Structure 1
Amino acid sequence: MSSDLLVKPSGNEGWTVNITPELAGWTYVGFDLHHLAPGESAHHQTGDREVCLVLISGTARIEAGGKDFGAVGTRMSPFEGKPDSVYVPGDSEWKATAETAVTLAVCSAPSLGGGLPARRISPDDVGQEVRGKGTNVRYVTNILPETAAADSLLVVEVITPGGHTSSYPPHKHDQDNLPHESALEETYYHRLNPPQGFAFQRVYTDDRSLDETLLIEDGVVTLVPRGYHPCATIHGYDLYYLNVMAGPKRTWKFHNAPEHEWLMKA
Protein backbone atom coordinates (compact mmCIF):
# COMPACT_ATOMS: atom_id res chain seq x y z
CA MET A 1 0.00 0.00 0.00
CA SER A 2 1.39 3.42 -0.93
CA SER A 3 1.95 6.11 1.68
CA ASP A 4 1.67 9.89 1.42
CA LEU A 5 4.86 10.04 3.51
CA LEU A 6 6.97 8.24 0.90
CA VAL A 7 8.03 10.06 -2.28
CA LYS A 8 9.56 7.95 -5.03
CA PRO A 9 11.68 9.49 -7.81
CA SER A 10 9.98 10.04 -11.16
CA GLY A 11 12.89 8.43 -13.02
CA ASN A 12 16.68 8.28 -13.23
CA GLU A 13 17.32 11.39 -15.34
CA GLY A 14 16.60 15.08 -14.98
CA TRP A 15 14.55 16.68 -12.21
CA THR A 16 13.39 13.49 -10.47
CA VAL A 17 12.11 14.73 -7.08
CA ASN A 18 10.16 17.96 -6.48
CA ILE A 19 8.83 18.40 -2.95
CA THR A 20 7.38 21.82 -2.15
CA PRO A 21 5.78 22.83 1.16
CA GLU A 22 2.43 22.91 -0.67
CA LEU A 23 2.83 19.35 -1.97
CA ALA A 24 4.03 18.10 1.41
CA GLY A 25 1.16 19.80 3.21
CA TRP A 26 3.38 21.78 5.53
CA THR A 27 5.05 25.19 5.80
CA TYR A 28 8.84 25.21 5.66
CA VAL A 29 10.89 22.44 4.02
CA GLY A 30 11.40 21.92 0.29
CA PHE A 31 13.53 19.25 -1.38
CA ASP A 32 14.46 18.64 -5.03
CA LEU A 33 16.78 16.21 -6.74
CA HIS A 34 18.47 16.54 -10.14
CA HIS A 35 20.31 13.81 -12.04
CA LEU A 36 22.53 15.48 -14.66
CA ALA A 37 24.66 13.97 -17.41
CA PRO A 38 27.99 15.69 -18.24
CA GLY A 39 27.23 19.05 -19.86
CA GLU A 40 23.65 19.25 -18.60
CA SER A 41 22.61 21.98 -16.20
CA ALA A 42 19.94 22.94 -13.70
CA HIS A 43 19.18 26.51 -12.69
CA HIS A 44 16.57 28.26 -10.57
CA GLN A 45 15.71 31.49 -8.80
CA THR A 46 15.53 31.20 -5.02
CA GLY A 47 12.89 33.90 -4.57
CA ASP A 48 11.72 34.02 -0.97
CA ARG A 49 13.62 30.84 -0.06
CA GLU A 50 17.21 30.05 0.84
CA VAL A 51 18.88 26.97 -0.67
CA CYS A 52 21.66 24.55 0.15
CA LEU A 53 22.97 22.72 -2.93
CA VAL A 54 24.49 19.38 -1.88
CA LEU A 55 26.56 17.37 -4.37
CA ILE A 56 25.38 13.88 -3.48
CA SER A 57 27.77 12.58 -6.11
CA GLY A 58 29.78 13.95 -9.01
CA THR A 59 31.33 17.30 -9.91
CA ALA A 60 29.50 20.37 -11.17
CA ARG A 61 30.41 23.97 -11.86
CA ILE A 62 28.29 26.06 -9.53
CA GLU A 63 27.36 29.70 -10.07
CA ALA A 64 25.25 31.23 -7.31
CA GLY A 65 24.47 34.62 -5.86
CA GLY A 66 26.64 36.37 -8.44
CA LYS A 67 29.68 34.19 -7.65
CA ASP A 68 31.38 31.48 -9.70
CA PHE A 69 32.49 28.71 -7.36
CA GLY A 70 34.08 26.64 -10.12
CA ALA A 71 34.11 22.86 -9.87
CA VAL A 72 32.31 21.67 -6.73
CA GLY A 73 32.12 18.05 -5.62
CA THR A 74 34.84 15.42 -5.30
CA ARG A 75 33.09 12.21 -4.33
CA MET A 76 31.45 9.92 -6.86
CA SER A 77 29.17 8.24 -4.30
CA PRO A 78 27.48 9.47 -1.10
CA PHE A 79 29.24 6.57 0.64
CA GLU A 80 32.70 7.96 -0.25
CA GLY A 81 34.04 10.96 1.61
CA LYS A 82 32.58 14.23 2.81
CA PRO A 83 29.97 16.31 0.96
CA ASP A 84 30.67 19.48 -1.00
CA SER A 85 27.87 22.06 -0.90
CA VAL A 86 26.94 25.66 -1.71
CA TYR A 87 24.67 27.93 0.33
CA VAL A 88 22.49 30.28 -1.75
CA PRO A 89 20.50 33.09 -0.07
CA GLY A 90 17.04 34.31 -0.98
CA ASP A 91 16.47 36.65 -3.94
CA SER A 92 19.33 35.00 -5.84
CA GLU A 93 19.80 32.57 -8.67
CA TRP A 94 21.94 29.50 -9.03
CA LYS A 95 23.14 27.27 -11.85
CA ALA A 96 24.83 23.87 -11.73
CA THR A 97 26.52 22.52 -14.87
CA ALA A 98 27.62 18.89 -14.62
CA GLU A 99 31.25 18.04 -15.39
CA THR A 100 30.67 14.37 -14.55
CA ALA A 101 27.43 12.50 -13.95
CA VAL A 102 25.89 14.41 -11.03
CA THR A 103 23.25 13.84 -8.39
CA LEU A 104 22.38 17.23 -6.92
CA ALA A 105 20.13 17.79 -3.91
CA VAL A 106 18.42 21.17 -3.54
CA CYS A 107 17.42 21.77 0.08
CA SER A 108 15.25 24.82 0.74
CA ALA A 109 13.45 26.75 3.47
CA PRO A 110 12.10 30.27 3.95
CA SER A 111 14.54 33.15 3.63
CA LEU A 112 14.10 35.65 6.41
CA GLY A 113 16.01 38.44 4.70
CA GLY A 114 19.22 37.78 6.56
CA GLY A 115 21.31 39.17 3.71
CA LEU A 116 23.82 36.34 3.87
CA PRO A 117 26.25 35.91 0.96
CA ALA A 118 26.42 32.80 -1.18
CA ARG A 119 29.24 30.56 0.03
CA ARG A 120 30.80 27.19 -0.59
CA ILE A 121 30.68 24.66 2.24
CA SER A 122 33.69 22.51 1.33
CA PRO A 123 34.50 19.05 2.72
CA ASP A 124 37.05 20.72 5.00
CA ASP A 125 34.34 22.96 6.47
CA VAL A 126 32.02 20.23 7.74
CA GLY A 127 32.26 18.44 11.07
CA GLN A 128 31.79 14.72 11.54
CA GLU A 129 30.83 12.71 14.60
CA VAL A 130 30.02 9.15 15.63
CA ARG A 131 26.74 8.65 17.47
CA GLY A 132 25.44 5.63 19.35
CA LYS A 133 26.92 2.37 20.56
CA GLY A 134 26.98 -1.19 19.25
CA THR A 135 24.43 -1.74 16.51
CA ASN A 136 23.16 1.82 17.02
CA VAL A 137 26.41 3.38 15.76
CA ARG A 138 26.04 5.78 12.82
CA TYR A 139 28.27 8.41 11.22
CA VAL A 140 27.03 11.99 11.06
CA THR A 141 28.25 14.87 8.88
CA ASN A 142 26.94 18.34 9.75
CA ILE A 143 26.59 20.33 6.52
CA LEU A 144 24.52 23.24 7.80
CA PRO A 145 24.12 22.93 11.58
CA GLU A 146 22.55 25.62 13.75
CA THR A 147 26.05 26.95 14.53
CA ALA A 148 26.51 27.85 10.83
CA ALA A 149 24.96 30.94 9.26
CA ALA A 150 21.54 30.49 7.63
CA ASP A 151 18.02 31.84 8.07
CA SER A 152 15.99 28.62 8.43
CA LEU A 153 17.82 25.60 7.02
CA LEU A 154 19.37 22.74 8.96
CA VAL A 155 21.10 20.12 6.77
CA VAL A 156 22.91 16.95 7.85
CA GLU A 157 23.81 13.61 6.31
CA VAL A 158 24.15 10.26 8.05
CA ILE A 159 25.57 6.85 7.12
CA THR A 160 24.16 3.88 9.03
CA PRO A 161 26.08 0.58 8.65
CA GLY A 162 24.21 -2.52 7.57
CA GLY A 163 22.27 -4.18 10.39
CA HIS A 164 22.21 -0.97 12.47
CA THR A 165 19.48 1.38 13.67
CA SER A 166 19.50 5.15 13.29
CA SER A 167 17.45 8.14 14.45
CA TYR A 168 17.15 5.85 17.45
CA PRO A 169 16.12 5.67 20.26
CA PRO A 170 13.00 7.15 18.66
CA HIS A 171 12.87 10.94 18.99
CA LYS A 172 10.60 13.68 17.76
CA HIS A 173 10.70 17.46 17.25
CA ASP A 174 7.14 18.55 16.55
CA GLN A 175 6.35 20.88 19.48
CA ASP A 176 7.33 24.53 19.76
CA ASN A 177 8.25 24.06 23.42
CA LEU A 178 11.73 25.48 23.84
CA PRO A 179 14.10 24.90 25.51
CA HIS A 180 12.81 21.32 25.69
CA GLU A 181 11.69 20.69 22.12
CA SER A 182 11.61 22.56 18.82
CA ALA A 183 9.09 22.21 15.99
CA LEU A 184 10.88 21.08 12.82
CA GLU A 185 9.58 19.51 9.61
CA GLU A 186 12.01 17.04 8.10
CA THR A 187 12.79 15.12 4.91
CA TYR A 188 14.99 12.03 4.59
CA TYR A 189 16.57 11.35 1.18
CA HIS A 190 17.69 7.71 1.30
CA ARG A 191 20.38 5.80 -0.57
CA LEU A 192 21.54 2.20 -0.11
CA ASN A 193 24.86 0.49 -0.77
CA PRO A 194 24.64 -1.83 -2.67
CA PRO A 195 21.55 -0.19 -4.21
CA GLN A 196 19.39 -3.34 -4.35
CA GLY A 197 19.15 -3.37 -0.54
CA PHE A 198 16.36 -2.04 1.61
CA ALA A 199 15.66 -0.55 5.03
CA PHE A 200 12.65 0.41 7.13
CA GLN A 201 11.47 3.65 8.71
CA ARG A 202 8.59 4.06 11.12
CA VAL A 203 6.86 7.45 11.54
CA TYR A 204 4.46 7.53 14.49
CA THR A 205 3.01 9.69 17.26
CA ASP A 206 2.37 8.90 20.94
CA ASP A 207 -1.38 8.57 20.35
CA ARG A 208 -0.81 6.57 17.13
CA SER A 209 -2.98 8.97 15.13
CA LEU A 210 -0.01 8.72 12.77
CA ASP A 211 1.64 5.31 12.62
CA GLU A 212 3.24 4.14 9.38
CA THR A 213 6.07 1.72 8.68
CA LEU A 214 7.74 2.47 5.35
CA LEU A 215 9.84 0.27 3.06
CA ILE A 216 12.94 2.28 2.21
CA GLU A 217 14.57 1.59 -1.15
CA ASP A 218 17.39 3.40 -2.94
CA GLY A 219 16.42 6.94 -3.91
CA VAL A 220 13.17 7.45 -2.00
CA VAL A 221 12.34 10.42 0.24
CA THR A 222 10.47 10.18 3.54
CA LEU A 223 8.38 13.10 4.80
CA VAL A 224 8.31 13.55 8.58
CA PRO A 225 5.61 16.13 9.40
CA ARG A 226 5.49 15.08 13.06
CA GLY A 227 6.19 12.19 15.39
CA TYR A 228 9.03 9.76 15.98
CA HIS A 229 10.94 8.49 12.94
CA PRO A 230 13.53 5.72 13.59
CA CYS A 231 15.26 3.79 10.79
CA ALA A 232 16.74 0.29 10.55
CA THR A 233 18.76 -1.11 7.66
CA ILE A 234 19.26 -4.79 6.96
CA HIS A 235 22.52 -6.72 7.22
CA GLY A 236 24.89 -6.17 4.29
CA TYR A 237 23.41 -2.86 3.13
CA ASP A 238 24.62 0.50 4.39
CA LEU A 239 22.02 3.28 4.54
CA TYR A 240 22.78 6.91 3.66
CA TYR A 241 20.32 9.70 4.26
CA LEU A 242 20.32 13.44 3.82
CA ASN A 243 18.14 15.30 6.32
CA VAL A 244 16.62 18.73 5.70
CA MET A 245 14.91 20.41 8.65
CA ALA A 246 13.23 23.78 9.19
CA GLY A 247 10.60 25.29 11.43
CA PRO A 248 9.58 28.49 13.21
CA LYS A 249 12.89 28.61 15.12
CA ARG A 250 16.25 27.46 13.79
CA THR A 251 17.30 25.06 16.53
CA TRP A 252 17.23 21.25 16.91
CA LYS A 253 15.86 20.23 20.28
CA PHE A 254 14.34 16.77 20.34
CA HIS A 255 12.21 14.70 22.71
CA ASN A 256 12.97 10.99 23.18
CA ALA A 257 10.16 8.44 23.35
CA PRO A 258 9.92 7.91 27.13
CA GLU A 259 9.49 4.13 26.94
CA HIS A 260 12.75 3.77 25.00
CA GLU A 261 14.85 6.40 26.72
CA TRP A 262 16.45 3.74 28.96
CA LEU A 263 18.55 2.81 25.92
CA MET A 264 20.48 6.06 26.31
CA LYS A 265 21.92 4.69 29.58
CA ALA A 266 22.26 1.03 28.58
Structure 2
Amino acid sequence: MNLLVKGQAAPGQTVALAEGALDYVGFSAHRLEAGQVLPVAAGDHELCLVLLSGHADVAGEAPGSGGFAWPGLGERQSVFEDTSPFAVYLPAGSQARVSATSALHLAVCRAPGAAGGELGPRLISPGAMKRSVRGQGSNTRYVCDILPDTAPAHSLLVVEVRTPAGHSSSYPPHKHDRDRLPDESFLEETYYHQVDPPQGFVFQRVYTDERDIDQAMAVENNDLVVVPRGYHPVCVPHGYQSYYLNVMAGPKRVWQFHNDPAHAWMLNAPSATVAK
Protein backbone atom coordinates (compact mmCIF):
# COMPACT_ATOMS: atom_id res chain seq x y z
CA MET A 1 0.00 0.00 0.00
CA ASN A 2 1.35 3.40 -0.99
CA LEU A 3 0.97 5.54 2.12
CA LEU A 4 1.27 8.88 0.28
CA VAL A 5 -1.91 10.28 -1.32
CA LYS A 6 -1.11 13.24 -3.56
CA GLY A 7 -3.26 16.34 -3.25
CA GLN A 8 -4.00 19.31 -5.48
CA ALA A 9 -4.34 23.05 -4.91
CA ALA A 10 -7.24 23.66 -7.30
CA PRO A 11 -10.73 24.42 -5.95
CA GLY A 12 -12.86 21.39 -5.18
CA GLN A 13 -11.76 18.26 -3.38
CA THR A 14 -8.05 18.68 -2.75
CA VAL A 15 -7.42 15.17 -1.44
CA ALA A 16 -9.38 12.19 -0.12
CA LEU A 17 -8.60 8.88 1.52
CA ALA A 18 -9.91 6.08 -0.68
CA GLU A 19 -12.97 4.24 0.58
CA GLY A 20 -11.88 1.21 2.62
CA ALA A 21 -8.22 2.22 2.77
CA LEU A 22 -8.45 2.16 6.57
CA ASP A 23 -10.95 0.42 8.82
CA TYR A 24 -11.65 3.32 11.16
CA VAL A 25 -10.45 6.63 9.67
CA GLY A 26 -11.92 8.54 6.73
CA PHE A 27 -10.77 11.92 5.45
CA SER A 28 -11.23 14.47 2.71
CA ALA A 29 -10.24 18.13 2.27
CA HIS A 30 -12.02 20.71 0.13
CA ARG A 31 -11.45 24.24 -1.16
CA LEU A 32 -14.65 26.18 -1.85
CA GLU A 33 -15.08 29.59 -3.36
CA ALA A 34 -17.48 32.13 -1.86
CA GLY A 35 -21.07 31.10 -2.58
CA GLN A 36 -20.33 27.41 -3.07
CA VAL A 37 -22.10 24.80 -0.94
CA LEU A 38 -20.77 21.41 0.13
CA PRO A 39 -23.41 18.87 1.23
CA VAL A 40 -22.22 16.43 3.89
CA ALA A 41 -23.91 13.19 4.95
CA ALA A 42 -22.58 11.34 7.99
CA GLY A 43 -24.26 7.98 7.32
CA ASP A 44 -23.08 5.50 9.94
CA HIS A 45 -20.02 7.66 10.73
CA GLU A 46 -19.49 10.58 13.05
CA LEU A 47 -17.87 13.65 11.50
CA CYS A 48 -15.72 16.56 12.57
CA LEU A 49 -15.81 19.44 10.10
CA VAL A 50 -12.74 21.64 10.59
CA LEU A 51 -12.68 25.11 9.04
CA LEU A 52 -8.97 25.22 8.27
CA SER A 53 -9.26 28.76 6.90
CA GLY A 54 -11.97 31.07 5.58
CA HIS A 55 -15.60 31.59 6.57
CA ALA A 56 -18.78 29.53 6.28
CA ASP A 57 -22.32 28.93 7.50
CA VAL A 58 -23.09 25.39 8.65
CA ALA A 59 -26.68 24.12 8.92
CA GLY A 60 -28.45 20.77 8.86
CA GLU A 61 -30.36 18.11 10.78
CA ALA A 62 -29.34 15.36 13.20
CA PRO A 63 -31.28 12.37 14.58
CA GLY A 64 -32.92 13.17 17.89
CA SER A 65 -31.81 16.79 17.76
CA GLY A 66 -33.66 18.25 14.80
CA GLY A 67 -32.24 21.18 12.91
CA PHE A 68 -29.14 23.18 13.74
CA ALA A 69 -27.56 26.29 12.25
CA TRP A 70 -24.28 28.06 12.98
CA PRO A 71 -23.83 31.11 10.75
CA GLY A 72 -20.73 33.23 10.43
CA LEU A 73 -18.10 30.67 11.38
CA GLY A 74 -14.44 31.27 10.67
CA GLU A 75 -11.72 33.53 11.95
CA ARG A 76 -8.34 32.71 10.50
CA GLN A 77 -7.16 33.12 6.92
CA SER A 78 -4.34 30.57 7.13
CA VAL A 79 -3.58 27.42 9.09
CA PHE A 80 -0.26 29.06 9.98
CA GLU A 81 -1.92 31.80 12.06
CA ASP A 82 -1.46 31.48 15.80
CA THR A 83 -5.14 30.82 16.47
CA SER A 84 -7.44 27.82 16.69
CA PRO A 85 -10.02 26.88 14.05
CA PHE A 86 -13.78 26.56 14.27
CA ALA A 87 -15.05 22.98 14.06
CA VAL A 88 -18.42 21.21 14.05
CA TYR A 89 -19.10 17.75 15.47
CA LEU A 90 -21.86 15.75 13.73
CA PRO A 91 -23.12 12.39 15.02
CA ALA A 92 -24.07 9.43 12.83
CA GLY A 93 -27.12 10.03 10.66
CA SER A 94 -26.58 13.77 10.35
CA GLN A 95 -27.04 15.80 7.18
CA ALA A 96 -25.35 19.19 6.80
CA ARG A 97 -24.68 21.96 4.31
CA VAL A 98 -21.47 23.96 4.47
CA SER A 99 -21.97 27.28 2.66
CA ALA A 100 -18.77 29.19 1.99
CA THR A 101 -19.09 32.92 2.63
CA SER A 102 -15.47 33.50 1.56
CA ALA A 103 -12.75 31.29 0.12
CA LEU A 104 -12.91 28.26 2.40
CA HIS A 105 -10.51 25.43 3.20
CA LEU A 106 -12.44 22.63 4.91
CA ALA A 107 -11.50 19.23 6.32
CA VAL A 108 -14.07 16.45 6.72
CA CYS A 109 -12.88 13.90 9.31
CA ARG A 110 -14.74 10.58 9.66
CA ALA A 111 -14.80 7.62 12.02
CA PRO A 112 -17.38 4.99 13.00
CA GLY A 113 -20.29 6.55 14.86
CA ALA A 114 -22.99 5.37 17.23
CA ALA A 115 -26.66 5.40 16.27
CA GLY A 116 -29.35 6.32 18.75
CA GLY A 117 -28.83 10.02 19.28
CA GLU A 118 -26.68 9.75 22.41
CA LEU A 119 -24.50 12.58 21.13
CA GLY A 120 -25.95 15.64 19.45
CA PRO A 121 -24.37 18.00 16.93
CA ARG A 122 -22.28 20.76 18.46
CA LEU A 123 -20.13 23.71 17.56
CA ILE A 124 -16.55 23.49 18.81
CA SER A 125 -15.36 27.07 19.17
CA PRO A 126 -11.68 28.09 19.13
CA GLY A 127 -11.81 29.10 22.79
CA ALA A 128 -12.80 25.56 23.79
CA MET A 129 -9.67 23.99 22.27
CA LYS A 130 -6.59 23.35 24.35
CA ARG A 131 -3.40 24.81 22.90
CA SER A 132 0.06 23.74 24.02
CA VAL A 133 3.74 23.91 23.17
CA ARG A 134 5.60 20.62 23.10
CA GLY A 135 9.30 19.96 22.97
CA GLN A 136 12.35 22.17 23.23
CA GLY A 137 14.94 23.44 20.80
CA SER A 138 14.62 21.91 17.35
CA ASN A 139 11.88 19.59 18.60
CA THR A 140 9.45 22.41 19.50
CA ARG A 141 5.98 22.35 17.91
CA TYR A 142 2.61 23.97 18.57
CA VAL A 143 -0.43 21.78 19.19
CA CYS A 144 -4.17 22.46 19.15
CA ASP A 145 -6.51 19.73 20.43
CA ILE A 146 -9.65 20.06 18.31
CA LEU A 147 -11.42 16.86 19.37
CA PRO A 148 -9.31 15.09 22.03
CA ASP A 149 -10.22 11.92 23.93
CA THR A 150 -11.42 14.09 26.81
CA ALA A 151 -14.23 15.55 24.64
CA PRO A 152 -17.45 13.65 23.79
CA ALA A 153 -17.35 11.47 20.66
CA HIS A 154 -17.71 7.80 19.80
CA SER A 155 -14.34 7.03 18.17
CA LEU A 156 -12.98 10.17 16.46
CA LEU A 157 -9.88 12.14 17.55
CA VAL A 158 -8.68 15.30 15.78
CA VAL A 159 -5.60 17.46 16.47
CA GLU A 160 -3.56 19.99 14.50
CA VAL A 161 0.15 20.73 14.78
CA ARG A 162 2.39 23.55 13.50
CA THR A 163 6.11 22.81 13.29
CA PRO A 164 8.71 25.55 12.67
CA ALA A 165 11.35 25.39 9.95
CA GLY A 166 14.22 23.04 10.68
CA HIS A 167 12.32 21.19 13.42
CA SER A 168 11.14 17.62 13.89
CA SER A 169 7.64 16.60 14.96
CA SER A 170 5.88 13.43 16.08
CA TYR A 171 9.34 12.83 17.49
CA PRO A 172 10.97 10.83 19.04
CA PRO A 173 9.18 8.27 16.86
CA HIS A 174 6.12 6.76 18.48
CA LYS A 175 3.32 4.42 17.49
CA HIS A 176 -0.16 3.37 18.62
CA ASP A 177 -0.97 0.15 16.77
CA ARG A 178 -1.60 -2.46 19.49
CA ASP A 179 -4.68 -2.83 21.66
CA ARG A 180 -2.85 -3.45 24.93
CA LEU A 181 -4.08 -0.77 27.30
CA PRO A 182 -2.99 0.80 29.55
CA ASP A 183 0.40 0.75 27.77
CA GLU A 184 -0.71 1.30 24.16
CA SER A 185 -3.90 1.77 22.16
CA PHE A 186 -4.69 0.84 18.58
CA LEU A 187 -5.44 3.95 16.51
CA GLU A 188 -5.22 4.38 12.76
CA GLU A 189 -4.18 7.84 11.64
CA THR A 190 -3.92 10.25 8.72
CA TYR A 191 -1.75 13.34 8.34
CA TYR A 192 -3.06 16.15 6.11
CA HIS A 193 -0.08 18.37 5.31
CA GLN A 194 0.25 22.06 4.51
CA VAL A 195 3.59 23.76 3.86
CA ASP A 196 4.52 27.47 4.00
CA PRO A 197 5.64 28.70 1.48
CA PRO A 198 3.52 26.21 -0.49
CA GLN A 199 6.24 25.12 -2.94
CA GLY A 200 8.09 23.44 -0.08
CA PHE A 201 8.08 19.89 1.22
CA VAL A 202 8.61 17.94 4.44
CA PHE A 203 9.78 14.40 5.08
CA GLN A 204 7.75 11.73 6.81
CA ARG A 205 8.68 8.13 7.50
CA VAL A 206 6.24 5.37 8.47
CA TYR A 207 7.86 2.15 9.71
CA THR A 208 7.24 -0.81 11.99
CA ASP A 209 9.61 -2.73 14.24
CA GLU A 210 9.53 -5.64 11.79
CA ARG A 211 10.00 -3.26 8.79
CA ASP A 212 7.10 -4.90 6.97
CA ILE A 213 6.10 -1.25 6.56
CA ASP A 214 8.97 1.15 5.88
CA GLN A 215 8.22 4.12 3.63
CA ALA A 216 10.04 7.46 3.62
CA MET A 217 8.17 10.18 1.73
CA ALA A 218 8.79 13.71 0.46
CA VAL A 219 5.43 15.26 1.31
CA GLU A 220 4.16 18.38 -0.46
CA ASN A 221 1.39 20.88 0.19
CA ASN A 222 -2.11 19.27 0.31
CA ASP A 223 -0.73 15.71 0.48
CA LEU A 224 -2.16 13.06 2.80
CA VAL A 225 -0.04 10.46 4.60
CA VAL A 226 -1.78 7.28 5.76
CA VAL A 227 -0.61 5.57 8.96
CA PRO A 228 -2.31 2.17 9.32
CA ARG A 229 0.28 1.24 11.95
CA GLY A 230 3.89 1.91 12.87
CA TYR A 231 6.04 4.87 13.88
CA HIS A 232 5.51 8.10 11.92
CA PRO A 233 7.96 11.00 12.54
CA VAL A 234 8.02 14.23 10.49
CA CYS A 235 11.05 16.42 9.68
CA VAL A 236 10.80 19.97 8.32
CA PRO A 237 13.61 21.44 6.17
CA HIS A 238 15.11 24.88 6.72
CA GLY A 239 13.12 27.75 5.20
CA TYR A 240 9.65 26.16 5.39
CA GLN A 241 7.15 25.66 8.18
CA SER A 242 4.81 22.69 8.48
CA TYR A 243 1.18 22.23 9.42
CA TYR A 244 -0.66 18.94 9.65
CA LEU A 245 -4.12 17.86 10.71
CA ASN A 246 -4.21 14.47 12.42
CA VAL A 247 -7.29 12.26 12.38
CA MET A 248 -7.20 9.14 14.57
CA ALA A 249 -9.70 6.40 15.37
CA GLY A 250 -9.74 2.81 16.54
CA PRO A 251 -11.71 0.26 18.57
CA LYS A 252 -11.19 2.22 21.80
CA ARG A 253 -11.15 6.01 21.98
CA VAL A 254 -7.95 6.32 23.98
CA TRP A 255 -4.68 7.82 22.76
CA GLN A 256 -1.84 5.92 24.41
CA PHE A 257 1.41 5.68 22.47
CA HIS A 258 4.63 3.66 22.59
CA ASN A 259 8.02 5.21 21.79
CA ASP A 260 10.54 3.45 19.55
CA PRO A 261 12.97 1.79 22.00
CA ALA A 262 15.88 2.50 19.64
CA HIS A 263 15.40 6.22 20.25
CA ALA A 264 14.23 6.14 23.87
CA TRP A 265 17.54 7.61 25.03
CA MET A 266 16.27 11.02 23.84
CA LEU A 267 13.63 11.00 26.55
CA ASN A 268 16.37 11.69 29.09
CA ALA A 269 17.89 14.52 27.08
CA PRO A 270 17.03 18.15 28.02
CA SER A 271 15.33 18.79 24.68
CA ALA A 272 13.29 15.58 24.62
CA THR A 273 9.55 15.26 24.43
CA VAL A 274 7.01 12.77 23.15
CA ALA A 275 3.84 12.60 21.10
CA LYS A 276 2.45 14.55 18.20
**TM-score normalised per structure 2:** 0.92
**One-letter identity of the residue aligned with 1:142:** D
Q: How far, CA to CA, are the matches of 1:34 and 1:21 in structure 2?
A: 16
Distance in 2 of aligned mates of 1:64 and 1:34: 19
2:156 alignment partner, one of 140, 153, 156: 153
Counterparts of 2:78 and 2:8 in 1: how far apart (Å)? Answer: 20
**Residue 207 of structure 2 is aligned to residue 204 of structure 1:** yes
In structure 1, C-alpha distance between the alignment counterparts of 2:185 and 2:69, rounded to whole Å: 36
Give 3-state SS (helix, strand or coil) of 1:195's partner.
Answer: coil
Q: Normalized against structure 1, the TM-score is what?
A: 0.96
Letter in 1 for 2:113: S
Matched position secondary structure for 1:152:
coil
- Quote the residue 2:68 is aligned against: 67
Quote how far apart the aligned CAs of 1:115 are.
2.0
Q: Report the equivalent of 1:84.
A: 86
Write out the 4+ residue segments of structure 1 that deviate beyond 6 Å after TM superposition: none
Q: Output the CA distance in 1 between the equivalents of 2:138 and 2:239.
A: 13
- Give deviations 1:136-183, integer Å, cap 9, x for gaps: 000000000000000010000000000000000000000001000000
8 A contact 2:91–2:114 mirrored in 1: no
Alignment coverage as a number of residue pairs: 262
Matched, 1:31 2:27: yes
Question: Does the alignment pair 1:19 with 2:17?
Answer: yes
Q: Unaligned 5+ residue runs, structure 2?
A: 62-66, 270-276
Output the amino acid matched with 2:128.
Answer: D
Q: Secondary structure at the match of 2:217?
A: strand
CA drift at 1:98: 0.5
Change (3 A) 1:230 1:50: same
- Work out whether residues 16 and 34 of structure 1, in 8 Å CA contact, stay in contact via their aligned partners in 2: yes
Bigger drift between 5-14 and 217-226 goes to 5-14
Q: Distance in 2 between matches of 1:120 and 1:20?
A: 27
Seen in structure 2, the aligned counterparts of structure 1 residues 135 and 256 have a Cα distance that, compared at 3 Å, is same
Instruction: Write the mapping of 1:1-266 to structure 2, written as runs, cut at 5 A.
Output: 4-10=2-8, 12-22=10-20, 24=21, 26-65=22-61, 66-80=67-81, 81-113=83-115, 115-266=118-269
What is the CA–CA distance in structure 1 between the aligned matches of 2:91 and 2:189, rounded to whole Å?
A: 20
Aligned-residue identity in percent = 53
Query: Cα distance, 1:18 vs. partner?
Result: 2.4
Native 8 Å contact 1:44 1:95 kept in 2: yes
Unaligned runs of 5+ in 1: none
One-letter amino acid matched to 1:250: R
Tell me the CA shift for residue 10 of structure 1.
4.9
